Amino acid sequence: MGGMGALDMSGSLFSTTLSYLKDVFSSVRSILESCVTAIPYLFSAGENRKEVTEQYPDPISSRTADDLPSRSRGLLFNDIDRCTGCRECEKICPNKSIAIETQSGSDPAKIWVSLFDIDFSKCIFCGLCVEECIPGSLVHTKQYEGAVYVLDDLKASFGRGGVTPEMQARWAANRRTHENEEVGF
């Protein structure tokens, strides 16, 4: 019985020592691998040395926003001439960054987008609004430099402005003329 106990104890000691040596070996190997990566950087040489970060703003680099990948999500732009005022972008925006107001326009069949504001202080550049825009008027530009000193300056306005009584009178007169031409007056 005493012999069996001594055998168990020596077996347990052996496996503990083996496990300890494995840990030491693994740690040493990890340190060596880090050195293989880091040392060439230290001496600015070696195949492993490649820049992964860039100084910003970089006074030397000739990179421009156009060098960014085609699907970059920069600041949004809305081509108001193509925007139908459907409000789908406003509805899908998860944090209410888009505000739209519409009125009747010169053509009763078309909506006049008087206000189209995007608040970039709320926008998370998720791109959902762009995906939702069927006419493709709303797009991400590659412009990523949007820093401002005043928070309100983060609001971009693309709307046409409110319809004035003078505009309504002019459009109504144009429609009357057009209708008279059609019936031959």
Binding site for ligand SF4 (CB under 6 A): 78, 83-89, 92-95, 97-98, 100, 118, 123-129, 132-133, 135, 137-138
98 or 105: CB nearest ligand SF4: 98
Least separation in angstroms between CB 63 and ligand SF4: 24
Q: Which residues pair with 163 in a beta bridge?
A: none
40 or 90: CB nearest ligand SF4: 90
Least separation in angstroms between CB 67 and ligand SF4: 22
b/e per residue 50-89 (b: at least 16 CB within 10 A): eeeeeeeeeeeeeeeeeeeeeeebbbbbbebeebebbebb
Under a CB-based contact definition with an 8 Å cutoff, are residues 27 and 19 in contact? no
128 or 167: CB nearest ligand SF4: 128
Longest dimension (CA), the chain: 125
Under a CB-based contact definition with an 8 Å cutoff, are residues 114 and 103 in contact? yes
101 or 171: CB nearest ligand SF4: 101
Under a CB-based contact definition with an 8 Å cutoff, are residues 156 and 76 in contact? yes
The pairs formed by 144-153 with CB atoms below 8 angstroms and a separation of 24 or more are 144/65, 144/68, 144/72, 144/74, 144/75, 146/75, 146/120, 151/121
Least separation in angstroms between CB 100 and ligand SF4: 6
88 or 171: CB nearest ligand SF4: 88
Least separation in angstroms between CB 99 and ligand SF4: 10
Least separation in angstroms between CB 65 and ligand SF4: 17
